[in-house]
């Protein structure tokens, strides 16, 4: 089969790496890709935002199956554009990607389907929103309804902060995404993600993971896209994984079908494990980044076959390795703010040859014979190990071989899992 993967980050490199191992694959294209993806796919210089260009390329290159990895494309309707051009693709459709595209839609669905989540209300004007926020006490959570590049959630510690956040959103701080907002109760607990794959009617579990959103060691500093992750997540016990499937994911897939928006694709469930049990934080309509980078090394089954089966309604359970995968994100100094681009990266081959290591590229470009850093998040140094301690030691041993001017990473990826092991 000829397959087209859309995107250019570390998640897409992990997907390309897993797809490239499929016996069903004849040729893998990636648009636009990066220097790491180019090792396993032919990169084509079409931006992920150019839906018409992608559809034209897919038809001309006789693509048999397309994989769309990122929220903006799914919520924007790339699946619909490709399928309209006669290209089979992994969704969800635009109508079903509303699970990521509207936080208010998800909260209403939770109420209808009996899915546990934080108390909330939806607003389209600031004054009633402020009045409701006051009734919840502080901290209180203010969310832009639409996609806001991962920045649309503000946790306000006081009334002054809450009022400011509400005004900011209605004044267009997050563009149109903030024309409607959700105010919700703050949940205390440990967060974890669980992934499943749905064909619109049936759903198979994938695996769980935990990431590290803050930029600094000890979970301090600004939020990022994610500085590292591991899978499995010890907090997601087998019993909790059953709850994730039975009480969250299956009712959601059924509710989406009943609403005429059948959900086909990867479903990312963000959970808060509170003292009253697990509650939904959010849904995403795709794999997480960097969670995907720790799921793919653990997947024993053929990824391409699994994704095709979801598209065609013929799913079977997947097999996973028992080993732990852990990824450390190496970033450019300044990230998540402004950072320098164009510094040459050294030590990649030596690091990649170490035991259990796979390096996924997130923000790299090939210039002549050099690989240079061009993103905030640049590399995902990923290790498999018999347990989290071994995976962590292997990942950091490989990180130590890699250099570029201004490179940094967190030094404590996996700390929650290690603490649980030591405690248990
Ligand atoms: P979201 O985009 O909805 O995942 O929110 C981003 C992050 O904000 C989550 O990963 C949580 O860390 C935090 N968050 C969102 N909603 C809540 C909530 N109700 N209580 C506590 N933290 C939350």
Distance 409 CA to ligand 1 centre (A): 23
- In the Cβ-directed half-sphere of 99, how many Cα atoms lie within 13 Å? 32
Convert the pLDDT of each residue in 120-137 to its tens digit: 999 999 999 999 999 999
Distance 106 CA to ligand 1 centre (A): 14
pLDDT given for residue 148 in this prediction: 86
What's the average model confidence in pLDDT over 190-208? 97
Convert the pLDDT of each residue in 372-416 to its tens digit: 999 999 999 999 999 999 999 999 999 999 999 999 999 999 999
User: Does the pLDDT at position 424 exceed 80?
Assistant: no
Distance 153 CA to ligand 1 centre (A): 7
Residue nearest to ligand 1 atom 8, measured at CA: 153
pLDDT given for residue 175 in this prediction: 86
Provide φ and ψ at 82, rounded to 5°.
-70, -45
Q: Residue 289: pLDDT band by 50, 70, 90 thresholds?
A: very high
What is 34-52 written as a DSSP string? -TTGGGTSEE----TT-HH
pLDDT given for residue 149 in this prediction: 81
Distance 3 CA to ligand 1 centre (A): 35
CA gap 208, 195 in Å, rounded: 6
Q: Which atom of ligand 1 is nearest to the CA of 152?
A: 2
pLDDT given for residue 423 in this prediction: 84
How far are the Cα atoms of 123, 189, 272 from residue 279, in angstroms, in the given order?
A: 22, 10, 5
Residue nearest to ligand 1 atom 15, measured at CA: 281
What's the average model confidence in pLDDT over 318-340? 97
Ligand 1 — pocket residues by CB below 6 A?
118, 141, 153, 155, 184, 186-187, 191, 270, 281-282
Distance 187 CA to ligand 1 centre (A): 8
Residue nearest to ligand 1 atom 1, measured at CA: 282
User: Does the pLDDT at position 353 exceed 80?
Assistant: yes
What's the average model confidence in pLDDT over 24-34? 97
Residue nearest to ligand 1 atom 6, measured at CA: 153
* Burial class (CB within 10 angstroms; exposed 0-12, middle 13-18, buried 19+) of 422: exposed
- In the Cβ-directed half-sphere of 103, how many Cα atoms lie within 13 Å? 29
Distance 235 CA to ligand 1 centre (A): 17
Return the SS3 of 193: strand
Distance 146 CA to ligand 1 centre (A): 14
Ligand 1, from 120, 282, 289, 416: best to mutate by most atoms within 8 Å of Cβ?
282
pLDDT given for residue 193 in this prediction: 97
pLDDT given for residue 306 in this prediction: 98
Across the beta sheet with 153-156, the strand order is 120-123, 181-185, 140-144, 153-156
Distance 369 CA to ligand 1 centre (A): 42
What is 101-170 written as a DSSP string? H-HHHHHHHHHHHT--B--EEEESSHHHHHHHHHHH-SSEEEEESS--TT--EEEESSHHHHHHHHHHHH
Distance 198 CA to ligand 1 centre (A): 24
What's the average model confidence in pLDDT over 290-312? 98
Residue nearest to ligand 1 atom 12, measured at CA: 191
User: Does the pLDDT at position 96 exceed 90?
Assistant: yes
Ligand 1, from 214, 281, 286: best to mutate by most atoms within 8 Å of Cβ?
281
CA gap 123, 100 in Å, rounded: 18
Provide φ and ψ at 398, rounded to 5°.
-70, -40
CA gap 63, 79 in Å, rounded: 14
Distance 349 CA to ligand 1 centre (A): 38
Residue nearest to ligand 1 atom 14, measured at CA: 281
Distance 154 CA to ligand 1 centre (A): 8
Kindly state the DSSP code that residue 296 receives in the 8-state scheme: G
Q: What is the pTM of this model?
A: 0.96
Residue nearest to ligand 1 atom 4, measured at CA: 282
Q: Which atom of ligand 1 is nearest to the CA of 118?
A: 19
Look up residue 160 and give its two tokens.
Answer: 């002054």
User: Does the pLDDT at position 150 exceed 80?
Assistant: no
pLDDT given for residue 178 in this prediction: 85
Q: Which atom of ligand 1 is nearest to the CA of 187?
A: 20
For 395-409, b/e burial (b = at least 16 CB within 10 A) is: bbbbbebbebeebbb
Residue nearest to ligand 1 atom 3, measured at CA: 282
Distance 13 CA to ligand 1 centre (A): 27
Q: Residue 421: pLDDT band by 50, 70, 90 thresholds?
A: confident
Spatial contact of 151 and 230, defined as CB atoms under 8 Å apart: no
User: Does the pLDDT at position 259 exceed 80?
Assistant: yes
Ligand 1, from 148, 150, 155: best to mutate by most atoms within 8 Å of Cβ?
155
Mean pLDDT of the chain: 96
Q: How many CB atoms lie within 10 A of CB 316?
A: 11
Look up residue 390 and give its two tokens.
Answer: 């071994």
């Amino acid at each position: 089969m000829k397959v087209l993967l859309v995107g250019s980050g570390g998640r897409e490199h992990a997907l390309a790496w897993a797809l490239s191992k499929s016996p069903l694959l004849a040729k893998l294209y990636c648009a636009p890709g990066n220097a790491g993806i180019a090792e396993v796919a032919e990169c084509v210089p079409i931006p992920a935002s150019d839906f018409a260009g992608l559809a034209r390329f897919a038809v001309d290159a006789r693509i048999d199956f397309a994989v769309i990895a990122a929220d903006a494309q799914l919520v924007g309707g790339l699946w619909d554009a490709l399928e309209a051009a006669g290209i089979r693709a992994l969704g969800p459709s635009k109508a079903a990607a509303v699970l990521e595209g509207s936080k208010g839609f998800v909260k209403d669905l939770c109420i209808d389907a009996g899915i546990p989540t934080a108390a909330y209300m939806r607003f389209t004007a600031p004054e009633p929103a402020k009045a409701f926020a006051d009734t919840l006490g502080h901290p209180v959570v203010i969310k832009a309804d639409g996609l806001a590049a991962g920045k649309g959630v503000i946790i306000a510690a006081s009334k002054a902060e809450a009022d400011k956040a509400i005004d900011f959103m209605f004044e267009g701080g997050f563009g149109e995404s903030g024309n409607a907002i959700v105010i919700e109760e703050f949940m205390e607990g440990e967060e974890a993600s669980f992934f499943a794959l749905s064909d619109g009617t049936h759903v198979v579990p994938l695996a769980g993971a935990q990431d590290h959103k803050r930029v600094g060691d000890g979970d301090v500093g600004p939020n990022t896209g994610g500085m590292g992750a591991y899978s499995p997540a010890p907090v997601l016990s087998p019993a909790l994984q059953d709850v994730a499937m039975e009480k969250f994911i299956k009712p959601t897939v059924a509710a989406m079908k009943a609403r005429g928006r059948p959900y086909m694709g990867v479903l990312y469930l963000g959970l808060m494990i509170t003292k009253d049990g697990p509650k939904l934080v959010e849904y995403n309509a795709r794999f997480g980044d960097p969670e995907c980078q720790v799921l793919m090394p653990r997947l024993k089954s053929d990824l391409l076959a699994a994704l095709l089966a979801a598209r065609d309604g013929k799913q079977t359970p997947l097999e996973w390795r028992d080993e732990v995968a852990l990824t450390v994100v190496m970033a450019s100094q300044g990230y998540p703010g402004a950072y320098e681009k164009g510094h040459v990266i050294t030590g990649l081959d030596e690091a990649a040859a170490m035991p259990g290591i796979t390096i996924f590229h997130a923000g790299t470009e090939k210039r002549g014979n050099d690989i240079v850093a061009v993103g905030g998040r640049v590399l995902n140094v990923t290790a498999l190990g018999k347990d989290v301690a071994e995976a962590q030691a292997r990942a950091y041993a490989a990180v130590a071989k890699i250099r570029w001017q201004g490179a940094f990473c967190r030094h404590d990826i996996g700390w929650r899992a290690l603490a649980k092991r030591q405690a248990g």
